[in-house]
Structure 1
Amino acid sequence: MTHRPSQPRADSPRYLTDDRLAIRDLAREFAMTQVFPVANELDPVQGTIPDALKKSMSEIGFFGIMIPEQFGGLGLGVFEYCLVAEELSRAWMSVSGLLARGNGMGGGFTPAQEADLLPRVARGEYLGAYALSEAEAGSDVANIACRATRDGDDWVVNGTKMWCTYAYEADYMVLFARTDPRGDPAKPHRGISAFLIDKQRNHFPEGMSGTKIRKIGYFGWNTWEVAFDNFRIPRDRMLGEEGKGFYLAVSGLEVGRAHTAARAIGLARGALEDSIAYMHARRQFGHPLADFQYLRFKIAKMAADIEAARQLMYSVATDIDTGRRCSLEASMCKLVATEMAEQVTSEAVQIHGGAGYTTDFQVERYWRDARLTKIFEGTSEIQMRIISDEILGRTEPD
């Protein structure tokens, strides 16, 4: 009797209802038939995600997964958002990152703005970018130095922002700037405000300029250093209350960390599936690599680690959707999934041998992009700080 090998499964009946399986399978087919070929063509030459692919995503409804149906969205939750993100990342993480240019970018909108803008977001016609981090304010958001000062009916912005992915291509930006120049040394997070900047797609308006950041991965779109030089914003474009932009910036951290975990899991799954196929095809010493026990055990460990991270991500997404605060668990999920992804994708490169260190196989792309997941949305070190503070209590260094 021979055993027919099968692909690892993730059909947990605890979480995956028939409706969710249908969404996952739709995203999986889209990823492998439309995203994957584009990624294989454009990532090696650092090309950009084509507009046709964005249009297809909008037609399916991917930009409105979490937008209420009354605004033209699908009215689903973070769970479904993460399901789609995993599938798209399995093909090209940059495309799964594009999901966030629509879903989740409406924080701080007034009811009137939601009614006006969210239908356009759901249709993929109003996609955004964040201008939050700075050279000296990455995870330390409270250290923002970019300033906005009142001048009549406008705010005038001066300063520089880093790591603004999609800034040039976006239809709008959410900018965080310090509006209280004095600040409070004891509470530096106060005095930061958020602004909505409408802009023309593929254009920087007067007073704003950008320099592309040279990256080692996450191709498909550009990441920018954006400079503001007496850039004027109408006074009524402030999001939320003056001086309370910090709270808007951190309000979506649980969702962002679950989304990043899903992306990391997708990368790891791609590396695992490609390694399984390679081990069946590649022969050494008269046998397929799949016959060698040490490599078989690598696959077993990779599959187990992926599934453990996925189940934690499912749990966190469920907690978010049911309204349970889970900042600790979200940090754990982000830490576990991204650390796992770097390890699994590295093992995949090793399994492929010299071929894994070429651009002829996709594992090097998964490896490069997995490394980034440990940095954005809060580094692994920041996640460990959050987790340890929750468990042991906060402490300040001398």
Structure 2
Amino acid sequence: MQAERGEPHDNVEAPLTLLPEAVTTLTRFEDAARTRVRRKIEMSAGGIDAEQRALHGLAWLATYRQTLQEVADHLAQAKARGQTSAVMQAMGLIAASEYLAQCFGGLPMSQLEFARPHDFGFSAAEAAAYQTPAVERLIAHGNTAATRAALTRAIRQAEPSRLFDGDLDSDLAAITETIHRYVDTKIALQAHGWHCDNAYIPLDIIADLSHLGVFGLTLPEDYEGLGLGKTAMCAVTEELSRGYIGIGSLGTRSEIAAELLLAGGTEEQKRKYLPGIGSGQIITTAVFTEPEAGSDLASLRLRATRVDDHYLLRGAKTWITHAARADLMLVLARTGTAEARHDGLSMFLVEKPRGDDAEPFALQGLSGSEIEVLGYRGMKEFELVFDDVAVPKAALLGGVEGRGFRQLMQTFESARIQTAARAIGTARAAFELAVHYALERRQFGKALMDFPRVSDKIALMAAEIFAGRRLTHFAARAKDLGRRCDLEAGMAKLLAARIAWACADNTVQIHGGTGFALEHPASRLLCDARILSIFEGAAEIQAHVIGRRLLEET
């Protein structure tokens, strides 16, 4: 059952009419904060690194502002189409009210760190000048007990997995409906068992996903893909991750590989690998990170030495996902000097036999060991050692040395957008668990949902999922339009990862001791959600990149 449509109550609709004005004010506040942060950095003896708190706070402020802009635009477009629902408006109002309050009261950069107006260089009076009547009214009359209670009543009447269905346009809804049913019948019931057993996702599931077109979703039709955009990719990834983050992440491997080949490969390389990647016949893995070089890719040390008509790869890599079962490794290696930094890196397409637990690495010169992890299972993580692994000259991506870093950078936008979608899917899974348990579990003669401290958590989960999805799809649309969108992609990933963690953490809290048990899916979601603010750009690195980009803009 979808959330009921209808005329929203005045106490929801009236404050929402102020949202466009409030966003305009918040934009001016962000612009002023940017000027102040730039000045702080210029005046600091330690430069940008010494002013990380201000810079990262600016990144969060801009992320919130863009999120509220997307919420406002989405609600306006839905109203123009006659598709507004009371649930959608309540979620939008709660998110707008809470995010505005945090912008002026304290932006949570982590559980312990808050960026406040004085961190940007505002006095109390200067910051107060931006708290206009529209902003104050939204804060005061938005995230209220009455609005949360109204949203909770609607959640009670809806199937939790369908609460957000009306948030998608008809095309995306049609694409995801088949995936939604598949997840409910084939993934959700098995996911926790795979997690507890630290088992690989079964190959028959991968075959099903191939048949559904998951791996070739955004691949151009010229290479036997479906030719859809990143917005469709987000919708599908979200649904798959709602069932199991490992399933949602399978597509990340093919997405990164396809992006690398499309942007930097020769036509021969594209024809050789892309159809197999899109069909799921070729399982890929990204081999970038090293023990002493995580975010600092310019410090990579694994070396590719040219010998006659081939290269020898020697060195170590770590945190390599799905390495054993991969058929094709995309390996970032150093072909130039260490002093060349980024310009000395090249990307290689390294074929290997598909492995399993019994014989994970049969390629001559390649060995590896599994890294046991809390969550994000189903593909397994590995440390790899390359001991003169021989690859042909034709394996050099694009056929020219020194382009590896630039080739990799071209994949970051899509990878971060997809990670945001994985985060929203994980958050939805946590939300669904919380709703079901809060309605079923009774204490002191009534359902947990009847207690405001429980129902409030659930209402805020819904509001943040709604807002986070809006920002994620905004980034995806920018990518589909062919625009540079590293800023938008970074914002989406930064916010969605935090939302996933907050939802998972609160779901465990609602379940109490039951959620802390390894046998309960709530504990798995907590483990899965935790990685999202670490990989594909740690939250601190992500905020730093966003902040620097903001300062580049005039």
Contact 2:256 2:286 in 1 (8 A): no
Partner SS state of residue 314, structure 2 = strand
1:98-247 → structure 2 map (5 Å cutoff): 98-106=250-258, 107=260, 108-184=264-340, 188-202=341-355, 203-240=361-398, 241-247=400-406
5 Å-filtered alignment, 1:53-64, equals 53-64=205-216
Which of 454, 468, 475 is matched with 1:316 structurally? 475
SS in 1 for 2:257: coil
Distance, in Å, in 2 between the alignment partners of 1:164 and 1:362 is: 25
Tell me which stretches of 4 or more aligned residues in structure 1 moved more than 3 Å: none
The residue number in structure 2 matching 1:80 is 232
Q: Which has the higher helix share?
A: 2
- 1:359-378 superposed matches below 5 A: 359-378=518-537
Q: Which residue of 1 aligns with 2:247?
A: 95
Amino acid at match of 2:414: V
The 3-state SS of whatever aligns with 2:157 is coil
Q: Give the residue type in structure 1 aligned to 2:219.
A: I
Q: Deviation at 1:285?
A: 0.2
- Code of the residue aligned with 2:343 in structure 1: it is R
1:136 counterpart letter in structure 2:
E
CA distance in 2, matches of 1:242, 1:313: 34
Query: Contact between 1:88 and 1:95, CA under 8 Å: does it hold in 2?
Result: yes
Q: Is the 8 A contact 1:204 1:210 kept in 2?
A: no
* C-alpha RMSD of the superposition: 1.6
- Partners in 1 of 2:339 and 2:389 — Cα distance? 22
* Partners of 2:394 and 2:191 in 1: CA distance: 40
Aligned residues: 388
Q: Identify the range of structure 1 (359-368 vs 296-305) with the bigger mean alpha-carbon deviation.
A: 359-368
- TM-score normalised by length of structure 1: 0.94
Mapped partners of 1:114, 1:387: distance in 2: 32
Question: How far is the alpha carbon of 1:389 from its aligned partner?
Answer: 1.1
1:373 is aligned with what amino acid? L
* Aligned amino acid, residue 163 of structure 1: W
1:232 is paired with a residue whose SS is strand
Go from structure 1 to structure 2 and tell me whether the alpha carbon gap of 1:170 and 1:346 turns closer, same or farther (over 3 Å shift). same
Give the counterpart letter for 1:160 in structure 2: A
Rg comparison, structure with higher value = 2
SS of the residue aligned with 1:209? strand
Q: Structure 2: how far apart are the matches of 1:53 and 1:11?
A: 25
Aligned-partner residue type, residue 17 of structure 1: D
> Aligned residue for 1:9?
163
Partner-residue secondary structure (3-state), 1:225:
strand
Q: Is the 8 A contact 2:218 2:230 kept in 1?
A: yes
- Is the partner of 2:304 in helix, strand or coil? strand
Tell me whether 1:50 sits opposite 2:202 in the alignment: yes
1:181 Cα deviation (Å)?
A: 2.4
Of 261, 266, 272, which aligns to 2:420? 261
| Residue ranges of structure 1 left out of the alignment (5+ in a row) | none
With 96-105 and 281-290 compared, the bigger mean Cα shift is at 96-105
1:380 aligns with 2:534: no
Deviations 1:318-368 (A, max 9, x none): 110111111111111111000111111100100001101013321111110
Confirm or deny: 8 A CA contact 1:66 1:104 kept in the other structure.
no
Q: Is the 1:177–1:192 contact (alpha carbons within 8 Å) kept by the matching residues of 2?
A: yes
23, 26, 37: which one aligns with 2:178 = 26
Partner Cα distance (1:77, 1:105) in 2: 16
State yes or no: 1:70 paired with 2:228: no
Amino acid at match of 2:435: I
Q: For residue 168 of structure 1, report the CA deviation from its aligned partner.
A: 1.1
Q: CA deviation at 1:182?
A: 4.7
Identical counterparts, % of pairs:
38
CA distance in 2, matches of 1:69, 1:392: 39
